[in-house]
Amino acid sequence: MWAVCKKEIQNYFFSPVGYVFIAIFMLISAVLFFNINLTANTYGTGYSGMADYSTALQNMTIYLSFITPVLTMRIFAEERKNKTDQLYLTSPLSITSVVLGKYFAALTVLLIAMVLNLIFPIVIALYTSSGSLSFAMLMVQYVGFFLIGATFMAIGVFVSSMTESQVVAAVVSFAVAAVIWLGDSMLTSLGSEALTDIASSLNMLARYQSFADGIVGFSPLIYYVSISGLFVFLTVRAIERRRWTGV
Amino acid sequence: MIEIENLTKLYGNKLAVDNISFKVKKGSVVGFLGRNGAGKSTTMNIITGYISATSGTARINGYDILKNPREVKKCIGYLPERPPIYQEMTVQEYLKFVCAIKDVKASAVSSHIEEISNLVKLNEVMGRRIGNLSKGYQQRVGMVQALVGNPEVLILDEPTVGLDPKQIIEIRRMIKALGKKHTIILSSHILPEVADVCEQVVIINQGKIVAQDTLANLQEGIQESANMVVRIAGSESAATKQLRALSGVKFVEGLGVREKDTVDILVETDKGVDVRRAMFNAMAKANMPILMIKYVDVTLEDIFLKLTGAEREI
């Protein structure tokens, strides 16, 4: 598994993909940082000059869900198209370890981006009175941010395993992210209790709230981990299934 | 060593492999012969565990590919039709990666890579990106990949496709050398290749096995008579008359004039009958010297075309 993980991480940085992801990630964070933390005006954002990074990070979760396909779209689609999947599917490796190896590689790139992202709270800490930015709280927020990212990555990996076209994988992953963000308010507005329940079970952002407040909630933690686990499992099943059907 | 029993593969409604069975003994080199689309790659993909059969079993060393995939995959090296190489990696990085996923001990990796890449003379390109290598070198990288971990069985799907004649000869020579240590299944639609490299031939057509035997037996089976072409200085009518008079000759046919004042004639005799001395004396007596005698062997191509029901173009 670690051999696959190492190779995939190398692959992200041999090709432009890893750099592109980190660059977009930093660009969007920088814009949010400027709008929310630096400027005193409230145009569009509703925030101004906040001496706290949690709002910017919370906003970033939405953009994160739309840029994760950059990392995940090629993960299986490309191998299937180039038939390089023949290498690991005929090796003694189990499919689970291949999927996990690739998934962890994508998560590593996310972690690298998040470490670079620390520059923004550091800047806040340098220019505000001591104590206004809680380090512990910030870490909890980053944990939540990572979990939400990991969930979207797992969904993206699954989508990539279903197709051999990277474009299809990317577009479907975008669509899934959009439905997750927008579906909640649509289902809730229909007024049915059952639909509202479904909506709240889909609502990833609501679960992030406790992390944003600085609390590592057991239930949101389990929520993100189990959804990620579910999609990793489905990916393994999808690859296994294709060995039988051949399509 | 390798036992294939009643293997069938359906892609939707399309029958790609139709109930095939064959066995390969340890240490033999088997040619898997068929036209494009006959089911060669599908069969190989099933044996190596890349895809699963719809029904039937494939066993290697007694292990079933479905029940003990890990054990089977450990003893197989596979070179698919398209070598599974990563363009952006260097040869060295790629082979290290393959060693890691094929459970080669970390301490033995460097020496193992050196050893197997020596076999195909890959050493001078170890540091180069695979994507920048020529097709011939990429094929060799694929070949070395199959050799990682010294598997007992090598499965090579059209290993010489797309190579230039010199490279083809090199790869064939290499396969022959490897055949001394490994059990090899080699697929090809190039007949001389199989004739050159393999001891045993399995011919597959439209998903079915139409013949499996040693090359010598296959030739024997199809060859009911011995044919030779003789070139004689003289006229066709006189020469054929003389030849028909010889005992043991079954059939004589003029093939036309290829060289001035001579005639080429096809002479067919019963198998095991040698008419050359009698023919020489008779023609010398008639003052029609024999300038050439050439036996016409049954080629694998003849066998193949006969078995797959295709017409031979003359």
| Tens digits of residue pLDDT in A73-83 | 999 999 999 99
Q: What percent of chain A has pLDDT over 90?
A: 54
* The pair of three-digit structure tokens given for residue A242, joined into one six-digit string: 């294709």
B61 and B156 share a domain? yes
The answer to whether residue B75 sits within a structural domain is yes
First to last CA, chain B: 41
B213 and B236 share a domain? no
With beta carbons less than 8 A apart as the criterion, state whether A97 and A4 touch.
yes
Nearest to B86 among A84, A93, A244 (CB): A84
* The pair of three-digit structure tokens given for residue A155, joined into one six-digit string: 């969904």
Range B271-278 average pLDDT: 83
With beta carbons less than 8 A apart as the criterion, state whether B232 and B290 touch.
yes
Interface contact A13, partner B, CB < 8 A: no
- Give the DSSP letter string of chain A: -HHHHHHHHHHHHHSSHHHHHHHHHHHHHHHHHIIIII-S--TTTS--S-S-SHHHHHHHHHHHHHHHHHHHTHHHHHHHHHTTHHHHHTSS--HHHHHHHHHHHHHHHHHHHHHHHTHHHHHHHHHS-TTSS-HHHHHHHHHHHHHHHHHHHHHHHHHHHT-S-HHHHHHHHHHHHHHHHHHHHHHHHT--HHHHHHHHHH-HHHHHHHHHTT---HHHHHHHHHHHHHHHHHHHHHHHHHHHH--
The answer to whether residue B17 sits within a structural domain is yes
For testing contact with chain A, the best of B50, B70, B89, B157 (most A CBs within 10 A): B50
ipTM surpasses 0.90: no
pLDDT-derived band of residue B314, with 50, 70 and 90 as boundaries? very low
User: How many A×B Cβ pairs under 8 Å?
Assistant: 66
Interface contact A189, partner B, CB < 8 A: no
In this complex, do B89 and A85 lie within 8 Å of one another by their Cβ atoms?
Answer: no
B127 and B256 share a domain? no
The pLDDT value recorded for residue B165 is: 85
B11 and B82 share a domain? yes
Least confident of B137-141, B155-159, B186-190, B230-234: B186-190
CATH number of the structural domain spanning residue B160: 3.40.50.300
For testing contact with chain A, the best of B86, B94, B153 (most A CBs within 10 A): B86
Q: What percent of chain B has pLDDT over 90?
A: 33
The answer to whether residue B189 sits within a structural domain is yes
Nearest to B73 among A10, A92, A247 (CB): A92
CATH number of the structural domain spanning residue B250: 3.30.70.260
B188 and B231 share a domain? no
Residue A87 has pLDDT above 80, yes or no: yes
Q: What percent of chain A has pLDDT over 70?
A: 94
B240 and B201 share a domain? no
Structural domain count, chain B: 2
Distance between A14 CA and the closest CA of chain B, angstroms: 7
In this complex, do B52 and A243 lie within 8 Å of one another by their Cβ atoms?
Answer: yes
Distance between B100 CA and the closest CA of chain A, angstroms: 6
pLDDT, tens only, A120-173: 998 888 887 766 678 888 899 999 999 999 999 999 999 999 998 999 999 999
The pLDDT value recorded for residue A45 is: 56
The answer to whether residue B306 sits within a structural domain is no
Among residues B163, B186, B220, which one ends one of the domains? Answer: B220
In terms of residue numbers, what domain contains A222?
Answer: 2-245
Among residues B220, B243, B277, which one ends one of the domains? Answer: B220
Structural domain count, chain A: 1
pLDDT, tens only, A33-83: 888 888 766 555 566 667 788 888 888 998 999 999 999 999 999 999 999
Q: β-strand B29-33 against B183-188: which pairing, if any?
A: parallel
In terms of residue numbers, what domain contains B258?
Answer: 225-297
The answer to whether residue B190 sits within a structural domain is yes
pLDDT, tens only, B190-222: 777 888 888 888 988 888 888 888 877 777 766
Residue B255 has pLDDT above 80, yes or no: yes
Residues of A in contact with B51 (CB under 8 A): 243-244, 246
Among residues B220, B250, B271, which one ends one of the domains? Answer: B220
B118 and B179 share a domain? yes
Distance between B75 CA and the closest CA of chain A, angstroms: 9
B142 and B196 share a domain? yes
The pLDDT value recorded for residue B313 is: 47
